[in-house]
Amino acid sequence: MKNECMGLINLDSIQNPSVNVLSDHRPVATIPIAGRYRLIDFTLSNMVNSGITNVGIYAREKYRSLTDHLGSGKDWDLSRKQGGLYVLSPENTKNNNNYGYRKGDIYTILANIDYIEKSPEEYVIVAPSYMLCSIDYNDLLKYHKKSNNDITIVYKRVDNANKDFKNCNTLNIDKDKRVKNVGNNLNTFPSANICMDTFIMRRIDFIECIYSIASMGTYSYIEDYIINQLDNIQVGAYKYEGYLKCINSLKSYYEASKEFLTEEVSRELFRSNRKIFTKDKSQAPTMYGEDAEVRGSFIATGCQIDGTVQDSTLFRKVKIGKGAVIRNSVIMQSCKIGDNVVLENVILDKNVTISSNKELKGDKDYPMVIEKNETV
């Protein structure tokens, strides 16, 4: 796929979710997950693993943490003279006065359309940051070429749509794998074709599509345009078979954190040949005290543990005091847990301090969340 397809990660799509207080001060794309990653690492790594070397990330706002995490792109092998990694915003562009204030991914892309126009690749893949999976885009490209579709959308057939993927788009597909219409998952029925908000098309067609939509003035989002043009353009569907989690709520984030601790999901996402790359932050090894006890958990580097940790995820530089018990929780970077603290079904954002002898318990489906930099 190298030099044949470019990647666009769209952080301003109509489906772009909000994950409670975790996304109040950062884009959903940079929410920490699985002890050392950010959500965007999964989509970005999928592109890199598929041989894509030209990636643009469209971010409308709150992107300081994004640029801090991505840097030059070297950790994804995207610090290059040709191609590379680009974070694109409507701000400080020649088209900002025309499009910067308008809501919708159409105008976010239009403000930086010259980036796509100057790219040499024949095809473009557009994907979100909140769909966590391990997908080979080479297979998608081959399918798209063979099918002669104008646009090919990626979907997964699931049997738990009544419990998961709430408010995700669903695809109604005919026997020829053509998309006939698009609905919304209301958790009513177990079986559904969940749209992964990922699609591929020719780069030139994509550019023409953006200009055409903007000239109409009817649509603000690409998704709305595609849905309303299903009778006029050939939109096909590509079936993805692997693990999928949509992080569109606090509940789904918490569920994913627990699923990542299972052998099956961990093997598929983190121990296959398709690595998940992230920003390198070398730390000293974690120190375990004499009374430390850890079971069924992921512990990042640089931690100091003197208590008990069960079925939980600890990010870098977390300190657990003596007699403390952590169960079914997510503890982000640089948190300090005092002596004899009990935490169960809790998510602590970065730099939270829990004083000694405190007890915090959330619901097993809806955890308690403590915002970053708080002291309790």
Model pLDDT for residues 73-115, shown as the tens digit of each residue: 999 999 998 899 999 987 655 555 454 446 788 888 998 999 9
Q: Which of 197, 198, 199, 167 is nearest to 183 (CA)?
A: 167
Q: pTM, whole model, 2 decimals? A: 0.94
Both 308 and 207 in one domain: the answer is no
CATH number at residue 300: 2.160.10.10
* CATH of residue 198: 3.90.550.10
The answer to the question of residue 76 being in a domain is yes
* Same-domain status, 309 and 168: no
Whether residue 279 lies inside any domain: the answer is no
Task: Check residue 86 and give its pLDDT.
Answer: 95
With respect to residue 282, please indicate whether it lies within any of the assigned structural domains. Answer: no
Q: What is the mean pLDDT of residues 189-198?
A: 97
Average pLDDT of span 246-251: 94
Token representation of residue 43: 């989509």
Residues in the chain: 376
Of the candidates 251, 298, 252, 236, the one whose C-alpha atom is nearest the C-alpha of residue 34 is 298
Full 3-state SS string of 249-295 = CHHHHHHHHHHCCCHHHHHHHHCCCCCCCCCCCCCCCCEECCCCEEE
Taking the C-alpha atoms of residue 41 and residue 32, their distance in angstroms, rounded to an integer, is: 10
pLDDT value of residue 104:
80
Do both 228 and 150 map to the same domain?
yes
User: 319 in a domain, yes or no?
Assistant: yes
Query: What is the per-residue pLDDT for 2?
Result: 63
Contact 44, 76 (CB under 8 A): yes
Q: Are residues 321 and 189 in the same domain?
A: no
Domain presence at residue 194: yes
Kindly tell me if the per-residue pLDDT of 300 is higher than 60: yes
What's the pLDDT score for residue 92? 52
180/233 same-domain check: yes
**Total count of domains within the chain:** 2
CB 362 within 8 A of CB 345: yes
* Confidence category of residue 39, pLDDT binned at 50, 70, 90: very high
Residues 121, 221, single domain; the answer is yes
Give the span between the Cα atoms of 341 and 337, in whole angstroms. Answer: 7
Q: Domain residues for 323? A: 287-370
pLDDT (mean) for 34-42:
96
Query: Is residue 275 one of the residues assigned to a domain?
Result: no
Among residues 239, 270, 301, which one ends one of the domains? Answer: 270
The predicted model gives 331-342 an average pLDDT of 98
**Residue 174 located in a structural domain:** yes
Q: 238, 270, 302 — which closes off a domain? A: 270
Please state, in angstroms and as integers, the Cα–Cα distance from residue 368 to each residue in 343, 347, 361, 376, following that order: 10, 6, 7, 13
pLDDT at 175: 94
